[in-house]
Structure 1
Amino acid sequence: MTQIELRGVEKFFGAVQVIKDLNLHIDHNEFIVLLGQSGCGKTTTLRAIAGLETIDQGDILIDGKPVQHMKASDRDIAFVFQSFALYPHMSVFENIAFPLKATRKSSSEVDSEVRSVAETLRITHLLGHRPSALSGGDMQRVAIGRALVRRPKALLMDEPIGALDAKLREEMRAEIKRLHMKQGSTTIYVTHDQVEAMSLADRIVIMHEGVLQQIGSPAEVYAYPANLFVAQFVGSPVMNVAPASVSSEGGTARVTVEGAQQGFLFPAELLGRLDGLKAANGSLALGIRPEGIIVRHEAQDGFLPVDAQLIEPLGAYDIVDLKVGSQTLRARTRSGFVAHAGARVFARLDPAQAHFFDTRSGNSLGVRL
């Protein structure tokens, strides 16, 4: 059982605070992804857990034991860097075996452990090669094998596939997920790529400017973003967010995007729920993901006339930019549904997929219909 806990962790580089009161509990065998923009503190957090950075405040516990004052070598943590950091003069076998030889294991034990890890990573046929003869993906497998071979309590990975091309990244994402499921190790993975985070994580920890924004499963952070930062960071394309006002009209609610002459119809329930939260129209933002915008060619009740500004073909579907008032909303349609830019179409919003945010705080109002 390997559990990792961070309690009130803070870290400064000079006068700059890069981690701000971070609290996080990671369960045994859990795959956690730290997600955020460059400079948000995610790599510093990972290095602090590994013992490669000291912290200024708080506690880091591994299996309930505080380790913040322990050396990295005493924490039984393995770290995989973005750079492969392999010894060029050593074979693959020797690179993977290096941590075991440092512990003075017998030759038979080393051989058995290395071949076991190589079989798991499917690189047994490469054991006699040197790193210069390997592809980028194979070099990363070797780096992971070197980390895994001594059976650490936890595996920490800092953007391990960021230097690979798109096809190799896709292959390695699947490989890392398969490896985690087979090994069952507690894993913390750092990335700025939300596709990696969504495809790999049991839970995603989203950070911004050193502050934890939201923790949840990929489905939770996508469907229920806690604030505007998460809404516009997770998802591809990101969630549409536009200033809006809500008014009552004929027993229904009308949500009008800034600059629009007409509004989208919503159930009257929305009015009561927003009034209960005392959300002022002047500080209200509507959020809707592209799949929550329904587009038709013909006028229908509840659909507003809009113009298509730009079409982005993505193979199985298109992303179409629609001009709504002074705002642009991106809709997802089937491939070729809108013939050309400038075409007049009709759109409505799916109330069940709409989000509402307080623009003053940035927080979600928690109103879902």
Structure 2
Amino acid sequence: MAEIVLQDIEKYFGDNYVIRKLNLTIAHKEFVVLLGPSGCGKTTTLRAIAGLETVDTGDIRIDGKAVQDLRAADRDIAFVFQLFALYPHLTAYDNIAFPLRATRESKAEVETKVRQVAKALKIEHLLKQRPSALSGGDMQRVAIGRALVRRPKAMLMDEPIGALDAKLREDMRSELKRLHIENDSTTVYVTHDQVEAMSLADRIAIMNDGVLQQVGTPTEVYRYPANLFVAQFIGSPVMNILPATVRGEGPRSELVVGEGAAAFDFPGDLPRRLAGKQHQSLTVGVRPEGVIVFTEEAPGTIPVEAHIIEPLGAYDIVDFQIGGQLLRARTTSGMVKRIGETVWARLDEAQTHFFDTGSGDSLEIRLGEGHGAHQA
């Protein structure tokens, strides 16, 4: 398979600066997901690797060989599109066999390779069907089979399951991960769906406005976001983001959020640690599971009033009004019984992130270990 290196890649469409000095290395056999909102440059980056778009500056290397000036056909890369792109007049078998016949492989080799890939994709029983007789999930399997059948150096996928319904997307996520492992392939996958990215990727490359924001494992980008954009793009529900100040000295300090109506108990060395970081003003971020909720008053908690309750079966998402802001928490199912109910909350210091409000960058302050699950 292949190592893919992107070095100082830039791309313009007229005056639109689409990719901005992008540097990324995708290791041999790695599954990397390019994640970001629509228009961030992720699909253009994928198409540049494939040779479907030219780059204005920078190098693209596959296994150490510069390919930015090579045609797509000469890069030994397979591309899977969102909308299947199957030949409607050909059967599933003939669609999969098409790239092999284009390179004049023997009939016996074509038969063997098509049967092998059909077995891996569990579509052997569909080989005689034309695309019009197939479901969306089956058509995507055929499209993936056509890409896999010639054993390319790398697989590039542009939102390949975005057009499927929720259940099919879930099934196809498992299939894609299994195929990646079984084929020892290098895979680059584009999506705007962070659930797909978290479940599929070895590493996630998060982009916004043509700029690479952060690269890391799903755990790294979730637990240690590099900036406010990553913090709010990764995670569902999104991270709570609140303006804050810190006050106090001694063994404990206070983290004051919103308009000053709420002060959470925090470690006493927090003011000193913040003083050592260059920042203009402070923004804190905490994920809903980092808001620890109690039904009775407990040390270090403050009273909060339920504003909205979203029952989601295994757990609830509850919005609390605090300091003129909404603070969203993930609680056990049925823990908060009604809107307007008062409960008590604190912030898990291990899951509280500190950002420079001006730049949006993380101040990289890591506090103590987490305290476990929500209390009843």
Question: What is the TM-score normalised by the length of structure 2?
Answer: 0.96
Question: Structure 1: how far apart are the matches of 2:251 and 2:258?
Answer: 22
Classify the secondary structure of the residue corresponding to 1:24.
strand
Q: 2:283 aligns with which of 285, 296, 316?
A: 285
Residue matched to 2:337: 339
Classify the secondary structure of the residue corresponding to 2:248.
strand
Q: How far 1:92 moved relative to its partner?
A: 0.6
Residue matched to 1:258: 258
Classify the secondary structure of the residue corresponding to 2:262.
coil
Kindly provide the CA deviation profile for residues 255-298 of structure 1, in whole angstroms up to 9, marking residues without a partner as x. 01021323000011212111111444xx1001100011111111
Matches within 5 A, 1:231-270: 231-249=231-249, 251-270=251-270
Question: Structure 2: how far apart are the matches of 1:230 and 1:128?
Answer: 46
Question: Structure 2: how far apart are the matches of 1:48 and 1:230?
Answer: 24
Is 1:124 the counterpart of 2:133 in the alignment?
A: no
Q: How far 1:20 moved relative to its partner?
A: 0.0
Classify the secondary structure of the residue corresponding to 2:129.
coil
Residue matched to 1:367: 365
Residue matched to 1:45: 45
Contact 1:9 1:23 (C-alpha < 8 Å) held by counterparts = yes
Is 1:200 the counterpart of 2:200 in the alignment?
A: yes
Residue matched to 1:69: 69
Q: How far 1:252 moved relative to its partner?
A: 1.1
Q: How far 1:341 moved relative to its partner?
A: 1.1
Q: How far 1:250 moved relative to its partner?
A: 5.1
Residue matched to 1:150: 150
Change (3 A) 1:359 1:95: same
Change (3 A) 1:298 1:249: farther
Residue matched to 1:133: 133
Question: Structure 2: how far apart are the matches of 1:320 and 1:128?
Answer: 52
Residue matched to 2:12: 12
Comparing 83-92 and 216-225, the one that deviates more: 83-92
Residue matched to 2:180: 180
Q: Read off the aligned partner of 1:302 and give its amino acid letter.
A: G
Contact 1:260 1:324 (C-alpha < 8 Å) held by counterparts = no
Residue matched to 1:304: 302
Contact 1:120 1:179 (C-alpha < 8 Å) held by counterparts = yes
Kindly provide the CA deviation profile for residues 201-238 of structure 1, in whole angstroms up to 9, marking residues without a partner as x. 00000000000000000000000000000000000011
Instruction: Number of aligned residue pairs: give it.
Output: 367
Residue matched to 1:91: 91
Q: 1:294 aligns with which of 285, 288, 292?
A: 292
Is 1:26 the counterpart of 2:26 in the alignment?
A: yes
Question: Structure 2: how far apart are the matches of 1:261 and 1:188?
Answer: 47
Structure 1: tracts of 5 or more residues without a match? none
Percent identity reads: 67
Kindly provide the CA deviation profile for residues 45-92 of structure 1, in whole angstroms up to 9, marking residues without a partner as x. 000000000000100000011100000000000000000111111111
Is 1:352 the counterpart of 2:366 in the alignment?
A: no
Comparing 91-100 and 250-259, the one that deviates more: 250-259
Question: Structure 2: how far apart are the matches of 1:337 and 1:260?
Answer: 27
Is 1:191 the counterpart of 2:198 in the alignment?
A: no
Question: What is the TM-score normalised by the length of structure 1?
Answer: 0.98
Classify the secondary structure of the residue corresponding to 1:263.
strand
Contact 1:46 1:190 (C-alpha < 8 Å) held by counterparts = yes
Contact 2:84 2:140 (C-alpha < 8 Å) held by counterparts = yes
Question: Structure 2: how far apart are the matches of 1:207 and 1:167?
Answer: 27
Classify the secondary structure of the residue corresponding to 1:232.
helix
Contact 2:262 2:322 (C-alpha < 8 Å) held by counterparts = no
Contact 2:317 2:329 (C-alpha < 8 Å) held by counterparts = yes
Structure 2: tracts of 5 or more residues without a match? 368-376
Matches within 5 A, 1:103-114: 103-114=103-114
